[in-house]
Structure 1
Amino acid sequence: MTGVYTVTQINSYIKNLFRQDFVLKNVKIRGEIWNCKYHTSGHIYFTLKDEDSALNAIMFKTNANNLSFRLEDGLAVEVTGRIDIYERDGKYQIYAESIEKTGIGDLNKKYQELFNMYEEMGYFDQGYKRPIPKYAKRIGIVTASTGAAIRDIITVSKRRNKYVDLILFPALVQGDKAKYSIVDGINTLDKLGLDCIIVGRGGGSMEDLWAFNEPEVVEAIFNANTPIISAVGHEVDFTLADWVADLRAPTPSAAAELAVCDISEVINKIDSMNRRINLAFNNTLRAYKDNLDKLSIRLKTNDPAAKLDKNREDLIKLEDELNLIMNNKLKEYTNNLKVLATKLEGQSPLKKLSSGYSYVDNNGLNVSSIDDVEINDTINIYVKDGTISAVVGGKHGREYK
């Protein structure tokens, strides 16, 4: 080939070379699945990798429908297919026709071993989990200084509470030195007396997130005095940092939602409490005023001066009633006395003596019969103007027909 060629011509030429290679037409490759994505079209996109290299891969829907299992990151597989170039991007990849599982990948195996060890040591027990303060004012963040994670955390935090203080420790979150940088960030922020710390990063493959599975990071989170929220990757991603942290957030944005209180809710709650306090105060004040009015009325009713005046009026009234009763009784007794006097006068001996009658006694005994005297007895005869002494000379009985 001589002359000048277009990019398309070169990619087409290379594509033709790939298709003429007998080995690349039907090849079987052993590796681990990473960055696996199921597209809405039904195709599956993933990376096939080993310890030193990686190869892009795609499995079209027609072949993907024949899979008896779901592809996941860290799965060790053997992929059968053809190697070809995607002309538009100038990248070669394997077009998978069939996939067989061969076991768990090295990273998955290492993850499970570390998980079992720390679980057995009690690092994940709920008894060690510290509560995240409800109204955190100062929040530390251990993540990269650039990228979606820190932007999302800042955006959500300031939307929920513009008064919150965010202290960032810019850390490496990927690569061999990432674990040391993350540990340094945790230890540094832990000494500042913050309310809580968010440790995390955006999504990625298991290999990309591996720093958050390292024992150094697990130990630093477990030994920190400040409550820690782990926010590593996406909702489907789980690292050992998630398990050992005091709280796991599915994303960095969610971590900010959990760490930062909604200031508008706090203000509304304060306003509501003020209204309730004012209402209770006014009700109490009204009750005291009503009670005071009642006591004032009772005081006026029971005032000694008022009672004295009322007693004086009652006394005068009783005196008048008593005088009236006494006068009426006196009149009644006077009339009765007159009646009795008239009756007594009618029965009086003197009255009868004045009419010509007399009273006779014999030695102080009333003489009402001839049998009451004997011949020669001296008797006394009482008349209206004196007494007559006489000697009985005889007794004569009276005959009645």
Structure 2
Amino acid sequence: MGQLNKAYTVSQVNSYIGNMFATDFALSGITIKGEISNLKYHTSGHIYFTLKDTASQISGVMFVRDRAGLQFKLEDGMSVLCTGNVGVYERGGSYQIYAKSFTADGVGDLYIRFEQLKKELSGMGMFDPMYKKPIPKYASKIGVVTAKTGAAVRDIVQIAKRRNPYVDITLYPALVQGDGAVQSIIRGIKTLDLMNLDVIIVGRGGGSIEDLWAFNEQAVAQAIFDADTPIISAVGHETDTTIADYVADLRAPTPSAGAELAVFDYTKFTDDLAGYKATLESVLYEHIQDTRQKLAMYKLRINQLNPKYILNEYHKKEILYHNELKRRIQDRLTIEKEKLRKYDVLREYMSDRLYAVKNRLRDYERMPSLMKQSLDKAHHRLLLNTERLEAVSPVRKLSGGYGFVQDEKGHKLDSVKKIKKGDLITTTLKDGTLRSRIEDINSGG
């Protein structure tokens, strides 16, 4: 730079340092690994950021002319590999990296783009269930957007025909990967959407995320969302998920499953129809029987209101009343005859009772003489019994010098064995009693 005592301007120094950076091969096309911070998308289209690690940081910028190569949206905290040139910003006297491209550190670029588009479309409401159109239960006209050859179209056609041999399938042979696939899929959706079909299946067989990427493009998602015909997304295998799956009206895990969801089982349909027919016939039969019963009832009511029927009924009632009156008169006559018979029997009974009473009156008239005879007989018997009693009377015996002996307790003494020496005895005579004490007893008579 010449003599040391020569003074340089700031611009000269910064220009010199800038030339040093520009000619340094190591700083040209360098890739720096770091975490994005202080991210700012400027209204001019430039992107300003800082790359940092745990110990240091470097400023950076990506000009709008270089953003075409950016496949995903940068976010603060994202770990990236930034490729570009390190140079000097002479106006500010600082160095920075001028980014040409970014790749995700540890995560594929396509995955980042997938997550970012998924988040963006979800925010727009394209995944909202309120926009999902119902899949017709009995679809007969099916549209298919897929490759014209391969397992996907073969499985869809075979399963659809097996479930319903009468289904009408319209195939739009589209590119499903590579250049032109996005526009081909979009044309297929729009073409079939104009054909007044019942449902459209959009899909392909399995593959890598790169192979399936056409179904992750926003343009394809928008075409599915804008279609008036219900769309089933059937992309890849069961574990594969694309943006088309989220925006479609129904997701099928595989193309085969898409055919099963779109086409109804004709055999089951006919079986159901047979069941419905049997049920309908049963209901109709019951309804007819019920109606017949009601008609018969109405006919009976009409006949009952017929004047001829009414007169006939009155005539029947007249006959019944006549017969009933005749029966009642006959019964009454029978009852009265029975009463008269009973009166005759009662009269005869009363006559007999009167005769008996007369006989009793005659007996009552003879009663005084009969009573006198009875009293005389009783007096005679009394005299006889009196004489008999006097003959056996103890008093009479006592009058003859006999006495009645009792011990102290009043018991009769009829044997010397019932008394002992010193006992008191009582002797009853005809005119009184004697109390004695036994001094001596002689037995043996």
The bucket for the TM-score relative to the shorter chain is 0.5 to 0.7
* CA-to-aligned-CA distance 1:222-247 (integer Å, 9 cap, x gap): 11111100011111111101111011
Matched with 1:24 is: none
What does 1:198-277 correspond to in 2, within 5 Å? Answer: 198-277=201-280
* CA-to-aligned-CA distance 1:285-322 (integer Å, 9 cap, x gap): 33444556667788889943144224223224414644
Q: In structure 1, what is the Cα distance between the partners aligned to 2:274 and 2:194?
A: 36
Query: Given the alignment of the two structures, is residue 111 of structure 1 paired with residue 118 of structure 2, yes or no?
Result: no
CA-atom RMSD in angstroms = 3.5
* CA-to-aligned-CA distance 1:138-163 (integer Å, 9 cap, x gap): 11110011111110000000010111
What does 1:156-167 correspond to in 2, within 5 Å? Answer: 156-167=159-170
Residue identity opposite 2:284 in structure 1: F
What does 1:274-313 correspond to in 2, within 5 Å? Answer: 274-290=277-293, 303-304=309-310, 305-313=312-320
Q: Which stretch has the larger CA shift, 292-301 or 145-154?
A: 292-301
Q: Secondary structure at the match of 1:193?
A: coil
Tell me by how many angstroms 1:128 deviates.
1.0
Matched with 1:121 is: 124
Q: In structure 2, what is the Cα distance between the partners aligned to 1:301 and 1:127?
A: 64
Q: In structure 2, what is the Cα distance between the partners aligned to 1:327 and 1:202?
A: 110
Tell me by how many angstroms 1:254 deviates.
0.2
* CA-to-aligned-CA distance 1:161-198 (integer Å, 9 cap, x gap): 11111111110111110000000000011111111100
Q: Which of the two has higher C-alpha Rg?
A: 2
Matched with 1:318 is: 325
Q: In structure 1, what is the Cα distance between the partners aligned to 2:234 and 2:212?
A: 11
What does 1:2-401 correspond to in 2, within 5 Å? Answer: 102-290=105-293, 303-304=309-310, 305-319=312-326, 321-322=328-329, 325=332
CA 284–237 in structure 1, closer or farther in 2 if over 3 Å, else same: same
Residue identity opposite 2:142 in structure 1: I
Higher helix share: 2
Q: In structure 2, what is the Cα distance between the partners aligned to 1:110 and 1:328?
A: 119
Matched with 1:388 is: none
CA 243–309 in structure 1, closer or farther in 2 if over 3 Å, else same: same
Residue identity opposite 2:250 in structure 1: L
Q: Which stretch has the larger CA shift, 312-321 or 208-217?
A: 312-321
Residue identity opposite 1:221 in structure 2: I
Q: In structure 2, what is the Cα distance between the partners aligned to 1:276 and 1:216?
A: 50
Q: Secondary structure at the match of 1:200?
A: strand
Tell me by how many angstroms 1:270 deviates.
1.0
Q: Secondary structure at the match of 2:273?
A: helix
Matched with 2:36 is: none
CA 332–253 in structure 1, closer or farther in 2 if over 3 Å, else same: closer
Q: In structure 1, what is the Cα distance between the partners aligned to 2:335 and 2:155?
A: 108
Residue identity opposite 2:179 in structure 1: D
Which consecutive unaligned segments of at least 5 residues does structure 2 have? Answer: 1-79, 82-103, 344-445
Q: In structure 2, what is the Cα distance between the partners aligned to 1:114 and 1:168?
A: 29
Q: In structure 2, what is the Cα distance between the partners aligned to 1:300 and 1:314?
A: 23
CA 301–310 in structure 1, closer or farther in 2 if over 3 Å, else same: farther
Q: In structure 1, what is the Cα distance between the partners aligned to 2:315 and 2:216?
A: 95
Residue identity opposite 2:216 in structure 1: N
Q: Which stretch has the larger CA shift, 273-282 or 129-138?
A: 273-282
Q: Secondary structure at the match of 1:104?
A: coil
Which consecutive unaligned segments of at least 5 residues does structure 1 have? Answer: 1-75, 78-100, 337-401
Matched with 2:55 is: none
Q: Which protein, 1 or 2, shows the higher relative CO under an 8 Å CA cutoff with sep ≥ 6?
A: 1
Identity, % of aligned positions: 47
CA 331–161 in structure 1, closer or farther in 2 if over 3 Å, else same: closer
* CA-to-aligned-CA distance 1:266-293 (integer Å, 9 cap, x gap): 1111111111111122223334445566
Q: In structure 1, what is the Cα distance between the partners aligned to 2:217 and 2:207?
A: 16
Q: In structure 1, what is the Cα distance between the partners aligned to 2:266 and 2:338?
A: 96
Q: In structure 1, what is the Cα distance between the partners aligned to 2:144 and 2:243?
A: 18
Q: In structure 2, what is the Cα distance between the partners aligned to 1:188 and 1:229?
A: 16
Q: In structure 2, what is the Cα distance between the partners aligned to 1:272 and 1:222?
A: 39
Q: Which stretch has the larger CA shift, 147-156 or 297-306?
A: 297-306
Q: In structure 1, what is the Cα distance between the partners aligned to 2:196 and 2:242?
A: 26
Q: In structure 2, what is the Cα distance between the partners aligned to 1:187 and 1:110?
A: 25
Q: Which stretch has the larger CA shift, 151-160 or 105-114?
A: 105-114
**May I ask how many residue pairs the two structures share in their alignment?**
240
CA 152–320 in structure 1, closer or farther in 2 if over 3 Å, else same: closer
